[in-house]
């Protein structure tokens, strides 16, 4: 009896698992139709936008910026949330093609697998704009332009600030690095840009580099060990604010003063990070802005009018020092 149960159990489990997953995907299909009805008609530009999901505060700010900018620019926005799934996004784009929207924009969930659906859009004569993330299609004519942050540049700006500010240092400057999720584009590119910039000064040495998975808990746990393994740490470079914020706690617990004993450089400039910068706990933040809505609406108008646009457009971004953070903080949206 028991043996029989054991042998049947996995098979039943697999069947039931399949059923649940199927139900999940059917349910997901259901809500991508929300944008249906009324494409075109009046002379407003209709923009179909497919968002990755709502996985972080950064993404939420990104969504809000696009919605607000569309309303301000008088563009009729059809918005779809793909819930991190490529098939939802492809379905949404096909919907937009059927509805004959004027412009399609989307943040690709993954880099590959877009050629077919982009070809369909091209054949239908609808221009496509990529936002925030790129695709790896060999045929660059499938989309008009890619609007997004330059992660390498963010890393480079951070490194350049450090080179500038450690000119007077005598002896080695020991740097520890908190990387983002292993293998992700922002982690790879920020590491690369930072490394290139600090190569200008041989005093600057990265003595340890670990992944903190872009989370506060991860940043904290890694920093705790860095502090114990390396008695002399001068600089912390974190690939995002959250890991830096986690590391702050570890540094304080070790009896050191963040921002003074250890110089902290991060990327993103979310509200909590800006607060830490204004409070003097961080020293420098390179912005990675989700507020690309206004730029996107401009582009949508241009490509709709048939104007030429550059194939790669960077999001308008800046950097913050402690003084700049104090001024900018009251107006931060995210």
Alpha carbons 208 and 234: distance in angstroms, whole number:
12
- Which strands make up the sheet holding 103-106, listed edge to edge? 76-81, 46-51, 103-106, 128-131, 145-148, 312-314
Q: Which of 115, 120, 196, 224 binds another protein (CB under 8 A)?
A: 224
CB of 120 to another protein, least distance (A): 31
Find the length of the chain: 334
Residue 274 found at the interface with another protein (CB under 8 A) = no
Q: Which of 37, 255, 306, 330 binds another protein (CB under 8 A)?
A: 255
Alpha carbons 146 and 130: distance in angstroms, whole number:
5
The nearer residue to another protein, 58 or 146, going by C-beta atoms, is: 58
CB-based contact 132:149 (threshold 8 Å): yes
Residue 216 found at the interface with another protein (CB under 8 A) = yes
Q: Applying CB under 8 A, which part among 101-109, 124-132, 135-143, 247-255 lies near another protein?
A: 247-255
- Which strands make up the sheet holding 235-238, listed edge to edge? 204-211, 173-179, 235-238, 263-268, 284-287, 319-321
CA neighbours closer than 13 Å in the CB half-sphere of residue 197: 22
Residue 237 found at the interface with another protein (CB under 8 A) = no
Q: Applying CB under 8 A, which part among 31-39, 114-122, 125-133, 220-228 lies near another protein?
A: 220-228
Residue 226 found at the interface with another protein (CB under 8 A) = yes
Q: Are strands 284-287 and 319-321 parallel, antiparallel or unpaired?
A: antiparallel
Q: Applying CB under 8 A, which part among 192-200, 211-219, 296-304, 316-324 lies near another protein?
A: 211-219
Under 8 Å CB-to-CB from 82, ≥6 apart: which residues?
A: 32, 50, 51, 52, 53, 88, 89, 92, 109
The nearer residue to another protein, 29 or 217, going by C-beta atoms, is: 217
Residue 64 found at the interface with another protein (CB under 8 A) = no
Residue 225 found at the interface with another protein (CB under 8 A) = yes
Residue 27 found at the interface with another protein (CB under 8 A) = no
The nearer residue to another protein, 32 or 145, going by C-beta atoms, is: 32
Residue 239 found at the interface with another protein (CB under 8 A) = no
Residue 199 found at the interface with another protein (CB under 8 A) = no
The nearer residue to another protein, 151 or 161, going by C-beta atoms, is: 151
Residue with tokens 């179909």: 48
Q: Which of 124, 185, 208, 328 binds another protein (CB under 8 A)?
A: 208
Residue 264 three-state SS = strand
Residue 322 found at the interface with another protein (CB under 8 A) = no
Residue 182 found at the interface with another protein (CB under 8 A) = yes
Helices (H), the chain: 2-30, 57-73, 86-98, 115-123, 151-165, 185-198, 216-229, 241-253, 271-278, 293-304, 322-328
Other Cβ atoms closer than 10 A to 315: 18
Residue 184 found at the interface with another protein (CB under 8 A) = no
Bridge partners for 77 per DSSP: 47
Q: Which of 33, 55, 136, 261 binds another protein (CB under 8 A)?
A: 55
Interacting residues toward another protein by CB under 8 A: 1-2, 6, 9, 12-13, 16-17, 20, 24, 54-57, 59-60, 179, 182-183, 208-211, 213, 215-218, 220-222, 224-226, 228-229, 242, 245-246, 249, 253-255, 272
């Amino acid at each position: 009896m028991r043996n029989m149960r054991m042998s049947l159990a996995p098979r039943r489990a697999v069947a039931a698992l399949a059923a649940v997953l199927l139900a999940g995907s059917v349910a997901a299909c259901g809500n991508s139709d929300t944008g249906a009805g009324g494409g075109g008609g009046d002379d407003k530009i209709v923009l179909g936008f497919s968002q990755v999901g709502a996985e972080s505060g950064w993404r939420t700010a990104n969504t809000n910026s696009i919605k607000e900018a569309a309303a301000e620019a008088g563009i009729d926005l059809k918005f779809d949330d793909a819930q991190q799934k490529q098939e939802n996004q492809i379905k949404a784009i096909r919907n937009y093609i059927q509805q004959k929207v004027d412009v399609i924009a989307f943040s690709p969930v993954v880099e590959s697998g877009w050629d077919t659906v982009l070809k369909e859009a091209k054949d239908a004569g609808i221009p496509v704009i990529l936002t925030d993330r790129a695709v790896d299609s060999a045929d660059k004519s499938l989309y008009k332009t890619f609007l997004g942050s330059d992660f390498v540049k963010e890393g480079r700006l951070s490194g350049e600030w450090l080179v500038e500010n450690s000119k007077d240092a005598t002896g080695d400057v020991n740097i520890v690095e908190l990387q983002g999720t292993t293998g992700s584009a922002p982690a790879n590119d920020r590491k690369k840009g930072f490394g290139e910039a600090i190569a200008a000064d041989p005093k600057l040495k990265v003595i340890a580099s670990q992944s903190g998975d872009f989370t506060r808990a991860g940043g904290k746990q890694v920093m705790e060990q860095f502090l114990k393994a390396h008695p002399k740490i001068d600089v912390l470079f974190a690939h995002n604010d959250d890991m830096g914020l986690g590391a702050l706690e570890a540094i304080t617990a070790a009896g050191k003063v963040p921002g003074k004993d250890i110089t902290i450089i991060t990327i993103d400039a979310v509200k909590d990070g800006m607060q830490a910068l204004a409070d003097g706990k961080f020293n420098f933040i390179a912005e990675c802005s989700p507020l690309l809505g206004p730029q996107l609406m401009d582009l949508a108008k241009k490509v709709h009018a048939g104007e030429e646009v550059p194939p790669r457009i960077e999001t308008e971004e800046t950097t913050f020092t402690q003084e700049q953070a104090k001024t900018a903080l009251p107006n931060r949206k995210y």
